[in-house]
């Protein structure tokens, strides 16, 4: 198990957990210039030189799937996102399953029962699937917080298996808490809507952007170079690009760190 050092901001320890690493497979895998419309050959040349660990030998994208634990003094133990899930998860059609989140938690000295709050940044299968296994919540003592807008969106898209396989079991277990907009979580930690990748996407903001667990606001190192580069799997690419530019600017203003699940390094100073 690869242990990555934690970061501490305002007394809050943020521990990265490696759930999986690998390329997309199946029909959603496209050449990188198609996955990131608007990117240029010059940008790719630079990113390949600066971030070789984000690429396969054949030049295509290797995604990292990080989750993060927040250890808040006198507060809840918070898990941000739950990874790709098991072999039968909704992510199995395209992502490297099974995820190793529970094993990674254990390496960090935690068991699933220690998690008090699960934050789901959004309801894509590589972020939400690990919350449920065999039809039951994996984190038995946790409230699961997600934006109501996101739940409405997934309900309107019955073709996504996340609604039936992930959201329904959480709701039936009585541990799903819909949020309406910005919401304080504990101390200097708040949940902030960051729409575009999905309609109800949210990020975890610590000490006014000194550290942000961004979710899929930033997908690839190319977004650090040029936040206006679009992503083919953003629900609203225009809104996503605006959200990305604004969030990166705020983190830079604060001299802060960005934690983004799919970047090779779990923390970057943008």
- Which residues in this chain contact Zn ion in the complex, by CB under 5 A? 126, 216
Phi then psi for residue 151, to 5 deg, are -65, -40
How many C-beta atoms surround the C-beta of residue 223 within 10 A?
27
β-sheet bridge partners, residue 259: 213, 267
Q: How far is the CB of 240 from Zn ion (least distance, A)?
A: 12
User: Which of 12/219 has CB closer to Zn ion?
Assistant: 219
User: Which of 12/222 has CB closer to Zn ion?
Assistant: 222
Q: How far is the CB of 78 from Zn ion (least distance, A)?
A: 19
Minimal CA–CA distance to 212: which of 141, 119, 95? 119
Strand runs labelled E in 199-242: 202-206, 211-213
The answer to whether 98 touches 84, Cβ cutoff 8 Å, is yes
β-sheet bridge partners, residue 6: none
Q: How far is the CB of 199 from Zn ion (least distance, A)?
A: 15
User: Which of 126/234 has CB closer to Zn ion?
Assistant: 126
User: Which of 51/197 has CB closer to Zn ion?
Assistant: 197
Q: How far is the CB of 113 from Zn ion (least distance, A)?
A: 26
Q: How far is the CB of 122 from Zn ion (least distance, A)?
A: 8
User: Which of 150/216 has CB closer to Zn ion?
Assistant: 216
β-sheet bridge partners, residue 59: none
CA terminus-to-terminus distance, the chain: 27
């Amino acid at each position: 198990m690869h242990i990555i050092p934690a970061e501490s901001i305002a007394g809050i320890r943020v521990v990265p957990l490696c759930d999986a690493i690998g390329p997309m497979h199946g029909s959603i895998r496209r050449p990188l210039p198609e996955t990131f419309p608007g990117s240029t050959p010059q940008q790719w040349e630079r990113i390949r030189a600066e971030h070789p660990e984000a690429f396969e030998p054949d030049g295509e994208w290797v995604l990292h799937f990080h989750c993060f634990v927040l250890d808040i003094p006198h507060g809840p133990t918070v898990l941000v996102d739950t990874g790709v899930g098991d072999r039968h998860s909704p992510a199995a059609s395209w992502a490297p399953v099974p995820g190793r989140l529970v094993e990674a938690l254990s390496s960090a000295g935690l068991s699933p029962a220690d998690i008090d709050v699960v934050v789901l940044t959004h309801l894509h299968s590589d972020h939400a699937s690990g919350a449920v296994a065999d039809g039951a919540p994996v984190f038995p003592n946790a409230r699961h917080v997600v934006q109501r807008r996101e739940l409405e969106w997934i309900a309107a898209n019955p073709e996504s298996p996340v609604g039936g396989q992930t959201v329904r079991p959480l709701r039936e277990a009585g541990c799903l808490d819909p949020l309406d907009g910005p919401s304080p979580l504990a101390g200097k930690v708040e949940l902030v809507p960051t729409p575009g990748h999905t309609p109800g996407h949210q990020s975890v903001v610590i000490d006014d952007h000194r550290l942000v667990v961004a979710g899929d606001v930033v997908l690839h190192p190319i977004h650090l170079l040029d936040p206006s580069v679009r992503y083919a799997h953003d629900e609203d690419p225009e809104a996503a690009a605006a959200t990305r530019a604004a969030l990166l600017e705020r983190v830079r203003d604060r001299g802060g760190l960005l934690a983004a699940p799919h970047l090779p390094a779990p923390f970057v100073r943008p």
